[in-house]
Amino acid sequence: MKNPIITLILCFLYSAFAFGQSAPLAIGWSKVDITPDKPVLLAGQFYARVSEGVMDPITATAMAMSSKNQEGIEENLIMISVDVVGISDGMRDEANLRDATRERIREKIPQLNPDKIIINATHTHAAPLISTLKPIEEIYGFPIEQLSPEKEVISPADNIQELSKTLASAAIEAWQNKIPAGISYGLSHAVVGRNRLQAKKEGNSTMYGNTNDPNFSHIEGYEDHALNLIFTWNKDEELTGILINIPAPSQVSEHSFELSADFWHDTRIRIKKEFGEQVHVFPQVSAAGDLSPHVMIDGKAEERMQRLMGWEELGTGRNSLAQRHQIANRITEGIASIFPVMQKNIDFAPVVLHQAKVLELPRRLLGEEDVKTAQQEAKEWGEKYQAVKDQLIDNPDMIHNPRWYRDATTSYSRMRRGTVVEERYELEKTNPTLPVEIHALRIGEIAMVTNPFELYLDYGMRMKARSPAVQTFVAQLTGAGSYLPTRRSIAGGAYGAVPASTLIGPEGGDMLVEESLNLIHTLFDKNE
């Protein structure tokens, strides 16, 4: 039996070391409401959407981390999770929320290198458009005055400026809130993301569609229901935050004309109810370019269960609040199932290491047939767009009809999508690569790697399978996005795999996997 006096002395000495001025780990949290107070254009669909109110607030959560190892070397990092579709980074357009935010943070925290600031999106399709600085007419074919003649709409450029200020203030507050801390990590499971591509017997694939079809063969790809979790604690072993990494974009309310954080809003409420109002929730989307929360099979059974659970008044089925409620419960229950052991396995002095790298990934090679197909599609959609413009000339008052622009802006966006393929084909001849920023982080026996894409699941699974870490987190959408499909999906020809949807192809995906694994190995080899 242990001597209680010796045990007490050891505990005192450990506490003095772990929580003194030179605490080996310090973590700070901050959360901010980023809901615009005026109408904005919402991102995430082909058609324009001028926001018509707020379904629920959209937020940003910042986590600051500082660590000092036995040699006295410090590692500092700030991560920010934002309820938007993607984080503009100059990859697709001149818009660059990432660097604007970093610059504002550095003004207040000059000792922090910009590449120590990682910003990721939750991919809600009911958040402000922040991916472009171009005039709205270039994006949707009509000036903003015609889309919204009755009310002033905040431009994407103004959104980016305002959001960068707000994100920076949240990051600075998290930095100032740092206190001695510990972490625990664990793996649970929750069914949220499902492969959304159905393969037909003849060999092609489509996104969504009707699986109740004699030509339906199978769901194209794998599904991952892993719930990767990091818990943060103060020195009194009280829970302060949970990082939740799941392979599922937040797309239940994706067609909403109201601002919404989607199922993350419901999840935050559910988690705070379960674990306390003080707990911060930090969402990350793992590799999920071919996944979504939409149910492809068993839809009627899922909807029945939503009714039996008493959520009928929320509306049930696809795109419903009941489905969001169901997802929030699954995530929270998955966390609760391992919470007792997380409380018993807190590490107050984990190894913390970070590296960032810019890769020159090869652009997806397009052929003349790709261009011809895109040109034909652009021509067909262009004719539909022109027909609406002609109609508008004959009937100018139609702009006062609610959502008059939905079909018109869809036609223009699809026409523009076709012309972009030809532009990329020409660009490849002089600029065959695209610079992409990735990060790798080690916290104890955890590895975390980031990428800016809507990364198809297979790439993430390869990273996790070959990682030397006990548990590996893959975080996508730490940049502007664009799908990065697999060879299998390109052969199937579904939406996310066609040339217009992609900047990088499977060759770049292979390189991303290898370089991400190289970074992880570098971090783990340092302390072997």
- pLDDT of 57 strictly over 80: yes
**How many Cβ atoms from other residues are within 10 Å of residue 108's Cβ?**
13
- Enumerate residues 6+ apart whose C-beta is below 8 A from 410: 46, 47
Residue pLDDT, tens place only, 157-208: 999 999 999 999 999 999 999 999 999 999 999 999 999 999 999 999 999 9
Check: CB of residue 279 under 8 Å from CB of residue 271: yes
**How many Cβ atoms from other residues are within 10 Å of residue 407's Cβ?**
14
Q: What is the pLDDT of residue 70?
A: 67
Residue 94 amino acid letter: E
- What is the Cα–Cα distance from 246 to 76, expressed in whole angstroms? 25
Over residues 297-310, mean pLDDT: 95
- What is the Cα–Cα distance from 316 to 397, expressed in whole angstroms? 37
- pLDDT of 503 strictly over 50: yes
DSSP secondary structure of 135-155 = -HHHHHSS-HHHH-SSS--B-
- pLDDT of 17 strictly over 50: no
Backbone angles phi, psi at 255, to 5 degrees: -100, 10
Q: What is the pLDDT of residue 62?
A: 98
Over residues 147-156, mean pLDDT: 92
- pLDDT of 10 strictly over 50: no
Residue 323, beta-bridge partner list: none
Residue 443 amino acid letter: I
Q: What is the pLDDT of residue 7?
A: 42
- Enumerate residues 6+ apart whose C-beta is below 8 A from 352: 25, 65, 67, 69, 75, 77, 441, 442, 443
| Beta strands 226-234; 239-246: pairing state | antiparallel
Over residues 489-510, mean pLDDT: 95
Whether pTM > 0.85 for this model: the answer is: yes
Q: What is the pLDDT of residue 73?
A: 76
Backbone angles phi, psi at 447, to 5 degrees: -120, 145
- What is the Cα–Cα distance from 309 to 404, expressed in whole angstroms? 38
Count of positions (residues) in the chain? 528
Over residues 238-253, mean pLDDT: 98
Q: Where are the beta strands (DSSP E) in 11-116?
A: 25-33, 59-68, 74-82
Q: What is the pLDDT of residue 93?
A: 79
Q: Which of 442, 243, 232 is nearest to 343 (CA)?
A: 232
Check: CB of residue 268 under 8 Å from CB of residue 244: no
- What is the Cα–Cα distance from 268 to 254, expressed in whole angstroms? 18
Displacement of CA 20 from its chain's centroid (Å): 36
Q: What is the pLDDT of residue 1?
A: 41
- The H-or-E segment that residue 185 falls in is strand 179-189
Sign of CA dihedral 176, 181, 182, 188: negative
- pLDDT of 11 strictly over 60: no
Lowest-confidence region among 40-54, 88-102, 248-262, 432-446: 88-102
Residue pLDDT, tens place only, 277-299: 999 999 999 999 999 999 999 99
For the chain, percent of residues with pLDDT exceeding 70: 95
Lowest-confidence region among 10-24, 84-98, 237-251, 440-454: 10-24
- pLDDT of 8 strictly over 60: no
pLDDT band for position 92 (cuts 50, 70, 90): confident
Long-range contact pairs involving 336-339 (C-beta distance under 8 Å, separation at least 24): 336/274, 337/188, 338/186, 338/187, 338/188, 338/229, 339/231, 339/275
Backbone angles phi, psi at 520, to 5 degrees: -60, -45
Q: What is the pLDDT of residue 528?
A: 52
Q: Which of 443, 526, 475 is nearest to 75 (CA)?
A: 443
- What is the Cα–Cα distance from 206 to 493, expressed in whole angstroms? 7
- What is the Cα–Cα distance from 262 to 126, expressed in whole angstroms? 8
Residue pLDDT, tens place only, 316-372: 999 999 999 999 999 999 999 999 999 999 999 999 999 999 999 999 999 999 999
DSSP-assigned letter for residue 413: H
Q: What is the pLDDT of residue 441?
A: 98
Joined tokens for residue 474: 């893959």
**How many Cβ atoms from other residues are within 10 Å of residue 362's Cβ?**
16
Residue 278, beta-bridge partner list: none
**How many Cβ atoms from other residues are within 10 Å of residue 26's Cβ?**
18
- pLDDT of 266 strictly over 80: yes
Q: What's the chain's average pLDDT?
A: 93
Tell me the angle at which helices 406-430 and 368-394 cross, rounded to the nearest 10 degrees. Answer: 150
Check: CB of residue 9 under 8 Å from CB of residue 2: no
Check: CB of residue 174 under 8 Å from CB of residue 28: yes
Phi-psi label, residue 401: left if phi above 0, alpha if psi -120 to 50, beta otherwise? beta
Lowest-confidence region among 66-70, 76-80, 298-302, 395-399: 66-70
Over residues 213-228, mean pLDDT: 96
pLDDT band for position 3 (cuts 50, 70, 90): low
Longest dimension (CA), the chain: 92
Over residues 64-86, mean pLDDT: 91
Q: What is the pLDDT of residue 2?
A: 45
Q: What is the pLDDT of residue 90?
A: 87
Over residues 461-484, mean pLDDT: 96
For the chain, percent of residues with pLDDT exceeding 90: 91
Over residues 375-402, mean pLDDT: 94
Q: What is the pLDDT of residue 526?
A: 67
* Residue in the block written with tokens 């450029």: 157
